[in-house]
């Protein structure tokens, strides 16, 4: 059975431990180094380039992050690697570069950003990059077809559904994805509690939340789930107001 217990152990820095794109931008090597230095787990996003390379990037288009409009998937990894993120020294990193930097020092929660009908080879490419990596890694996606591809390839990592929603239709869709044999869910904290997540917890599977940006959201997340994905603050440096250091660091064990 795939070990997924480590998902509960550390707060997870959303797109790395950036500073809300002030000086250290999301999904950059600088943000990942800062998370490693602080001892936080890291969440990051992957896209698939024109030359079949997984790169660390969130958006479909490069305009918000790089100031140049264009489809991420229409560019090669080399072309993306020339683009400055937020006008800083950081460039769009490949997944391989990110893994080399982290080197297994903190856990990784990696989200694959799918595009239906255009993801052939994406899951396999991610697993190939991870082949010689040592360190805790979980893979997740909003997109059930990518999770199905990872299952079909016998991915040796915890696999999870990234999700949100509060309707019966949402929950039915999520249950269909979980029926693939997934190991956890990452759910939008503001949509908790709900019957779907209650069912995930009843099966003994971890529930992590996204994206927590303040103490109220943190408290709600720890009441309803096992660990937070956070940004914009340091969850270990909150005022002492009933949330002890164990909860701040480890969530609900």
pLDDT value, residue 250: 36
CATH number for the domain that contains residue 164: 3.20.20.190
Of all residues in the chain, the percent with pLDDT exceeding 90 is 92
| pLDDT value at residue 246 | 38
Give which of 111, 172, 176 is closest to 146, Cα–Cα: 111
pLDDT score, position 127: 98
What confidence score (pLDDT) does residue 253 get? Answer: 29
pLDDT band at 239 (very low <50, low <70, confident <90, very high): low
pLDDT in tens, 55-108: 999 999 999 999 999 999 999 999 999 999 999 999 999 999 999 999 999 999
Whole-prediction pTM: 0.94
What is d(CA 24, CA 22) in angstroms, rounded to the nearest whole number? 6
Looking at residues 214-230, what average pLDDT do you find? 96
The pLDDT assigned to 238 comes to 79
Can you say whether the dihedral through the CA atoms of 58, 59, 61, 65 is positive or negative? negative
Integer-rounded Cα radius of gyration of the chain: 17
3 state SS of 207: strand
**What is the pLDDT at residue 249?**
40
d(CA 25, CA 16): 9
Q: What's the average model confidence in pLDDT over 137-154? A: 98
- Distance in angstroms (rounded) separating the CA atoms of residues 203 and 181: 11
pLDDT of 2? 79
87 or 241, higher pLDDT: 87
Candidates 193, 195, 241; CA nearest to 214 is: 241
d(CA 181, CA 165): 21
List C-alpha distances in Å: 231 to 16, 17, 18, 20, 97.
Answer: 8, 7, 7, 7, 22
Report percent pLDDT > 70 for the chain: 94
User: By residue range, what is the domain housing residue 23?
Assistant: 5-250
Say how far apart CA 57 and CA 26 lie, in whole Å.
9
pLDDT range class, residue 240, cuts 50, 70, 90: very low
From 46, 40, 47, select the one nearest 11 (Cα to Cα).
Answer: 40
As a whole number, mean pLDDT of residues 211-218 equals 96
φ, ψ at 226 (rounded to 5°): -105, -30
At residue 1, the pLDDT reads: 63
Mean pLDDT of the chain: 94
Contact 157, 168 (CB under 8 A): no
The verdict on whether omega for the bond into residue 193 sits within 30 degrees of 0, i.e. cis, is yes
Q: Please count the structural domains in the chain.
A: 1
């Amino acid at each position: 059975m795939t070990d997924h217990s480590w998902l509960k152990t550390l707060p997870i820095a959303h797109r790395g431990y950036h500073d809300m794109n002030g000086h250290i931008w999301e999904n950059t090597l600088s943000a990942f180094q800062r998370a490693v230095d602080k001892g936080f787990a890291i969440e990051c996003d992957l896209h698939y380039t024109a030359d079949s390379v997984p790169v660390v990037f969130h958006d479909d288009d490069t305009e918000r992050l790089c100031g140049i409009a264009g489809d991420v998937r229409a560019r090669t990894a080399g072309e993306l690697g020339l683009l400055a993120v937020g006008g800083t020294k950081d460039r769009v990193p490949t997944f391989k570069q990110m893994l080399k930097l982290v080197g297994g020092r903190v856990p990784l929660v990696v989200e694959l950003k799918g595009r239906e009908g255009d993801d052939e080879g994406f899951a396999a490419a991610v697993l190939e990059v991870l082949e010689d990596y040592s360190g805790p890694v979980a893979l997740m996606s909003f997109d059930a077809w990518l999770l199905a591809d990872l299952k079909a390839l016998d991915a040796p990592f915890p696999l999870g559904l990234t999700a949100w929603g509060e309707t019966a239709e949402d929950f039915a869709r999520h249950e269909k994805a979980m029926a693939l044999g997934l190991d956890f869910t990452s759910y939008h904290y503001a949509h908790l509690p709900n019957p779907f997540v209650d069912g995930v917890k009843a099966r003994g599977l971890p529930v992590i939340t996204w994206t927590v940006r303040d103490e109220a959201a943190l408290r709600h997340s720890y009441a309803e789930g096992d660990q937070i994905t956070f940004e914009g603050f340091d969850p270990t440096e909150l005022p002492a107001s009933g949330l002890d250091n164990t909860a701040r660091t480890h969530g609900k064990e």
